């Protein structure tokens, strides 16, 4: 080999590795996402739409610079462990578990992959995080502090319906940890007693039990339906409101989303927005932050929302003092 050719060959060998590295495509992050309802349901589409909107606000587009791997539980909490294990097997970069039950299932499936839970009821009581300020493990996200607000919601119900005496509380067993569920149910019963309300608890473990639950409710005198915090009940809100409307029962609930589909009143945070805001946690994690160091976000505002159209249809006169305090009145 001539001297000139040798020098060129050696130079090429030195340059090529760098050139090859420079041409390598940037890694596309994979995000696992567990939704409660079936993938083609309006609820799942709204949830994923809100999340993708949040991603776009941080410069991510699904299918371009990130890939969102969606797994649906089809309204069956018992499917969460298998879905979580499936996403762990795909070795995704982060998992978004849409609620506390999905978060607990994912927590059992992995202690290393970062987990973001957009809608947590009682993160500490459920054992998802060590504290709100310092989560301490591989989980972080947002909490709507649902169980703690139950007494306040019952008080608002009594204010809206001063003559009410019998209230049915619709609840889902095991949606939170045993500790959180026990505390929530005790506080609900204590608040009802203080307000002079007779509380009838009706358990619904899955969507297929809703018809039977309302059949039971129809057999007894009831002044109002009070919906306790629950992933499944939130997902089935339109059906719950429709069933209650047939019985001419006003629905009091945890979030604005119930009132938007015909419920009478809600007090709490806007849960769909929590999904959108969870993308900021995903962004920070993809940029190197650890869930243990990302404080759990709490609501900065609780909204009192009243559907005046529903009130008129049910011939309920909402006190003017309550209407004046409402953050939003749907007419």
CA 52 vs. chain centroid, Å, equals 15
Q: Compute the average pLDDT of residues 36-53.
A: 92
pLDDT for residue 270: 83
For 179-190, the pLDDT digits (tens) are 888 988 998 999
pLDDT for residue 148: 78
Does any domain span residue 229? yes
Higher pLDDT, 148 or 308: 308
* Whether residue 66 has pLDDT greater than 60: yes
pLDDT for residue 272: 86
Q: Three-state SS across 125-180? A: CCCCCCCCCCCCCCEEEEECCCHHHHHHHHHHHHHHCCCCCEEEEEECCCCCCHHH
Q: What gap in Å lies between CA 212 and CA 244, rounded to an integer?
A: 13
Share of the chain above pLDDT 90, in %: 75
* Whether residue 6 has pLDDT greater than 50: no
Higher pLDDT, 249 or 2: 249
Residues 126 and 256 in one domain: no
Average pLDDT, the chain: 90
Dihedral over alpha carbons 315, 317, 322, 327 (to 10 degrees)? 40
* Whether residue 204 has pLDDT greater than 90: yes
pLDDT for residue 5: 52
For 207-233, the pLDDT digits (tens) are 999 999 999 999 999 999 999 998 889
DSSP, residue by residue, 240-266: HHHHHHHTT--EEESSHHHHHTT-SEE
* Whether residue 139 has pLDDT greater than 90: yes
Three-point CA angle 189, 192, 196, nearest 5°: 140
- Domains held by the chain: number: 2
pLDDT for residue 7: 46
pLDDT for residue 22: 44
Share of the chain above pLDDT 70, in %: 92
- For residue 14, what are its two tokens? 């030195």
Count of C-beta atoms within a 10 Å radius of residue 29:
16
Query: Which residues form the domain of 45?
Result: 29-144+271-293
Residues 255 and 158 in one domain: yes
Structural contact between residues 198 and 227, judged by C-beta atoms closer than 8 angstroms = no
Residues 195 and 323 in one domain: yes
Higher pLDDT, 180 or 304: 304
Residues 326 and 197 in one domain: yes
pTM: 0.83
Q: What gap in Å lies between CA 171 and CA 31, rounded to an integer?
A: 31
Q: Compute the average pLDDT of residues 135-157.
A: 90
Higher pLDDT, 7 or 172: 172
Residues 168 and 251 in one domain: yes
pLDDT for residue 27: 80
Does any domain span residue 308? yes
- CATH code at 231? 3.40.50.2300
Does any domain span residue 209? yes
Structural contact between residues 200 and 213, judged by C-beta atoms closer than 8 angstroms = no
| 38, HSE (Cβ side, Cα atoms, 13 Å) | 3
Structural contact between residues 144 and 257, judged by C-beta atoms closer than 8 angstroms = no
- For residue 267, what are its two tokens? 């007090």
* Whether residue 146 has pLDDT greater than 60: yes
Residues 312 and 200 in one domain: yes
């Amino acid at each position: 080999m001539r001297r000139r050719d040798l020098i060129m060959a050696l130079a090429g060998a030195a340059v090529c590795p760098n050139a090859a590295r420079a041409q390598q495509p940037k890694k596309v992050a994979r995000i696992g996402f567990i939704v409660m309802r079936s993938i083609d349901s309006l609820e799942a589409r709204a949830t994923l739409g809100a999340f993708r909107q949040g991603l776009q606000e941080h410069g991510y587009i699904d299918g371009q610079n990130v890939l969102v791997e969606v797994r649906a539980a089809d309204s069956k909490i018992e499917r969460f462990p298998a879905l979580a294990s499936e996403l762990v097997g795909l070795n995704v970069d982060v998992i978004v578990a849409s609620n506390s039950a999905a978060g607990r299932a994912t927590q059992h499936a992995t202690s290393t992959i970062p987990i973001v839970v957009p809608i947590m009821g009682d993160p500490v009581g459920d054992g998802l995080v060590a504290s709100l300020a310092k989560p301490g493990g591989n989980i972080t996200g947002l909490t709507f502090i649902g169980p703690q607000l139950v007494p306040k919601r019952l008080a608002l119900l009594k204010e809206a319906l001063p003559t009410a005496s019998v209230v049915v509380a619709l609840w889902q067993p095991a949606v939170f940890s045993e500790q959180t569920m026990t505390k929530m149910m005790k506080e609900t019963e204590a608040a009802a007693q203080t307000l002079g309300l007779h509380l009838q608890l009706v358990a619904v473990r899955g969507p297929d039990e809703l018809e039977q639950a309302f059949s039971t409710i129809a057999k007894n005198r009831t002044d109002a339906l009070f919906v306790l915090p629950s992933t499944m009940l939130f997902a089935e809100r339109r059906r719950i409101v429709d069933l209650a409307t047939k019985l001419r029962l006003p629905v009091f609930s945890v979030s604005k989303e119930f009132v938007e589909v015909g419920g009478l009143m809600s007090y709490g945070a806007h849960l769909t927005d929590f999904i959108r805001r969870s993308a900021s946690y995903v962004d920070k994690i993809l940029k190197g932050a650890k869930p243990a160091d990302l404080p759990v976000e709490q609501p900065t505002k609780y909204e009192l929302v009243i559907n005046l159209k529903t009130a008129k249809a049910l011939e309920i006169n909402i006190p003017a003092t309550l209407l004046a305090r409402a953050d939003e009145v749907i007419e």
